[in-house]
Amino acid sequence: MNEAEFVTALRRLPLHPGARGLEDDCAILTIGAETLVVTHDMMAEGTHFRPDADMADVAWKLLAANLSDLAAKGAEPVGVLLGHSLGSDDARFLAGLDEALRSLGTVLMGGDTVAATGPSTYGITAIGRATHSPVPSRQGAAAGHAVYVTGPVGRAMLGYEGDPDHLAAFNRPVPRMAEGVALAPHVSAMMDISDGLLLDCWRMAWTSGVTFALAADAVPVAEPARFAECVRWGDDYELLFTAPEGAALPVPAIRIGAVRARGSAPLLLDETPLADPARLGYSHG
């Protein structure tokens, strides 16, 4: 199975109502007056990082990717659980995790370690506290709203390739936590950009039952001469969101398009339909 087929099969299993039909990045749990936001992300050697990567950077990025999912829900982190494969410079991993926890403002709550053969895999479950109700989802984009992004895409790609000006964007991204909390009361839909701007726009539009019409010249990219790669590469961890046209936003953001009633495809780029998500960004399998 590829990733899409596997997730489709998972939807046939018994699901908690807070799973949102597995159409979102987080589960939402309401307990009394408190709403918790729970997410889990993994990183695998050879897929998310090179075998010779600094394991301190791997730990940082693993935590940041999970916190970015919380940011897209306007949630403040409560703590994280770690799943760790022993053996790949564990001391450096712990040093990076310590630095990331302190810098990104959360704490370790527990987890599990294993000794495994083959490529190493690491996972974190992050738990956050919602700051706004309803908690933003991918499903609320509505015709007549505008599409926004909080910053440029393509910086992680350039960092992966060794560009010294963008190394940190790939190795040690900083999730948009404060922006997510500030935006939560104002957005109609929100998610983070992890698999490429075009693919994540397609996913949000598809889930919301609408079409996103993007203007290429409005999309902020780190390297304009490589526009097509920048909007497909991923790992940017900016926030993608929709809000009513002309809404006063509490944080800087760039308007990149408009939401329309569903047309010939979930996504248009300069009026060209982009109907096949397999060609728009990164997916596993």
Asked if pLDDT for residue 71 goes beyond 60, the answer is yes
What pLDDT band is residue 282 in, cutting at 50, 70 and 90?
low
Average pLDDT over residues 49-76: 94
Place of tokens 């001391």: 91
Most confident of 3-17, 81-95, 106-120, 216-230: 216-230
Tally Cβ neighbours within 10 Å of residue 99: 15
pLDDT at residue 50 in the model: 79
Asked if pLDDT for residue 163 goes beyond 60, the answer is yes
User: How wide is the angle at C-alpha 51 spanned by C-alphas 50 and 52, nearest 5°?
Assistant: 90
Range of weakest confidence among 206-215, 255-264, 276-285 = 276-285
pLDDT at residue 25 in the model: 86
Asked if pLDDT for residue 46 goes beyond 80, the answer is no
SS (H, E, C) the chain: CCHHHHHHHHCCCCCCHHHHHHCCCCEEEEECCEEEEEEEEEEEECCCECCCCCHHHHHHHHHHHHHHHHHCCCEEEEEEEEEEEECCCHHHHHHHHHHHHHHHCCCEEEEEEEECCCCCEEEEEEEEEECCCCCCCCCCCCCCEEEEECCCECHHHHHHCCCCCCHHHHHCCCCCHHHHHHHCCCCCEEEECCCCHHHHHHHHHHHHCEEEEECHHHCCECCHHHHHHHHHHCCCCCEEEEEECCCCCCCCCEEEEEEEECCCCCEEECCEECCCHHHCCCCCC
More confident residue, 117 or 236: 236
Cα Rg of the chain (Å, integer): 18
What pLDDT band is residue 283 in, cutting at 50, 70 and 90?
low
Token pair for 149: 């992004």
Phi, psi of 58 (to 5 degrees): -60, -45
- Whole-model pTM? 0.93
More confident residue, 271 or 49: 271
What pLDDT band is residue 115 in, cutting at 50, 70 and 90?
confident
Asked if pLDDT for residue 131 goes beyond 60, the answer is yes
Return mean pLDDT, the chain. 94
More confident residue, 112 or 48: 112
Q: How far apart are CA 205 and CA 278, in angstroms?
A: 15
CA–chain centroid gap for 105, Å, is: 18
pLDDT at residue 118 in the model: 73
Average pLDDT over residues 22-38: 92
More confident residue, 154 or 114: 154
Beta bridge partners of 113: 84
Q: Do domains 3-130 and 145-279 have the same CATH topology?
A: no
CA–chain centroid gap for 31, Å, is: 25
Domain residue spans in the chain? 3-130, 145-279
Average pLDDT over residues 107-135: 92
* 77-96 pLDDT, tens digit each: 999 999 999 987 899 999 99
Q: How far apart are CA 76 and CA 38, in angstroms?
A: 11
What pLDDT band is residue 3 in, cutting at 50, 70 and 90?
confident
CA 7 → CA 1, 2, 103, 161, 211, distances in Å?
A: 9, 9, 33, 31, 23
Q: Tell me: domain 3-130, CATH 3.30.1330.10, correct?
A: yes
For the chain, percent of residues with pLDDT exceeding 90: 79
* 167-212 pLDDT, tens digit each: 999 999 999 999 999 999 999 999 999 999 999 999 999 999 999 9
Contact assessment for residue 146 and residue 202, using Cβ atoms and an 8 Å cutoff: no
Select the CATH number that applies to the domain covering 145-279 from these four: 3.30.420.40, 3.30.2350.10, 3.90.650.10, 3.40.50.300.
3.90.650.10
